[in-house]
Amino acid sequence: APCSLSVPVVKRMREALFTCWSDDVIIDSLAPRFLKLTFQVLGRFRSWVSLMVVDSAQQQQQQQGGATFVPSSAELVMLALDVEKLSTIVDSELRLRVVDVIASCANQTSDASTAKEGEQKVVEGVEMALGEAVRPVKEMVVVTWQSVTSRLTALCVIQLQAVKGITANYRMTNKPAPTSASPFVPKILAPLADFTKDWEAKVPLSVGEDWKIKVLVEVTEKYRDTILELVTTVRQMDEALKKRRAKKAGNKNSGLSDADKILLQLLLDVRAFGRELKTFGLDADSCEAYRSLAKEVAPAERFETENKNTAGVIDKKD
């Protein structure tokens, strides 16, 4: 029904398509040309949808300079849903109307002996052609949703910038070793959580359920890359410090070093992130991306044990 559509452009598109085949507009003798017009309208609509969603990240950058309009994630969600609805309408209501008109025209131009056979061939040809015309429009549903998930992934990845701040928290600060995850960890997937709460009911059927897993996996992979880069830097700095300390006679280092504390914090954060993944229905232990992430911080488990032992010794002294 027309009222089920939300995006004004899609509403106008539906009206235009059905107007072409309305009794007060259609000219039976020109039905093939009206069919061609229908294909052209669907093609133009597909191009418009593509313009709205393809390379949206690049368009967003241009928007900062006021160069172009970029639809919001909410607008893209409604567009994807309406494109799917319009495709269904074309496949059902419009197809029946077009077939009815074309079949009627075929009967008028055929003699009685061949009318039935001719009508069947015409109907099959029209249905096939209309199906081919609407197929690219259907494909834009998934393309539109890919743009949505790309934006969600980017919003989550932005939160990973806080990972680099862990170094400053422990480098040359003499802070005690961490015992809990960083406050930023629950914020990493907050954009996805907020979006799911507001829009999950609007996900087009053709998109399926894997879109959320894709976002989680991509964010996890980016988290791994961020940690790998940080761990490499921390280890290099720690090696340099150890060499300087080794040159000082009688200098014995006890307890965890700053680098050890940083790595331990990363371990605690990754564990907490794994628990966050489970709130979205993703079993972190069975997720290859998370296992790869956990592998990068696994060596820090020994620091956790050392920290507990050190704390126990201090308690006994007290």
User: 170-201, pLDDT tens digit by residue?
Assistant: 887 888 999 999 999 999 999 999 999 999 99
Burial of residue 139, with CB atoms counted within 10 A of its CB: 0-12 exposed, 13-18 middle, 19 or more buried: middle
Q: Is 218 found in the same domain as 93?
A: no
Asked, for residue 38, whether it belongs to a domain, the answer is: yes
Q: Is 54 found in the same domain as 198?
A: no
Cβ 57 vs Cβ 150: under 8 Å: yes
Q: Is 211 found in the same domain as 134?
A: no
More confident call, 262 vs 53: 262
More confident call, 49 vs 73: 49
Asked, for residue 295, whether it belongs to a domain, the answer is: yes
Q: Is 116 found in the same domain as 76?
A: yes
Kindly state the average pLDDT of the residues 255-273.
93
| pLDDT value for 309 | 63
Nearest to 202 by CA among 84, 295, 53, 70: 84
Q: Is 86 found in the same domain as 218?
A: no
What b/e string do you get for 212-229 counting C-beta neighbours within 10 Å, with b at 16 or more?
Answer: beebbbbbbbbbbebbee
Asked, for residue 121, whether it belongs to a domain, the answer is: yes
Q: Is 73 found in the same domain as 198?
A: no
Cβ 7 vs Cβ 79: under 8 Å: yes
Asked, for residue 230, whether it belongs to a domain, the answer is: yes
Asked, for residue 261, whether it belongs to a domain, the answer is: yes
Asked, for residue 147, whether it belongs to a domain, the answer is: no
Domain boundary residue, one of 96, 117, 142: 142
Structural domains of the chain, count:
2
Give the pair of three-digit tokens for residue 197. 């709460």
Rounded distance between C-alpha atoms, residue 164 and residue 180, angstroms: 17
Cβ 219 vs Cβ 156: under 8 Å: yes
What residue numbers bound the domain in which 200 lies? 159-247+255-315
Q: Is 282 found in the same domain as 206?
A: yes
Q: 106-144, pLDDT tens digit by residue? A: 666 555 555 566 678 888 889 999 999 999 999 999 999
More confident call, 239 vs 44: 44
Q: Determine how many CB atoms are found less than 10 A away from the CB of residue 167.
A: 16
Asked, for residue 2, whether it belongs to a domain, the answer is: no
Domain boundary residue, one of 142, 172, 194: 142
Give the number of residues written for the chain. Answer: 318
Q: 20-50, pLDDT tens digit by residue? A: 999 999 998 899 999 999 999 999 999 999 9
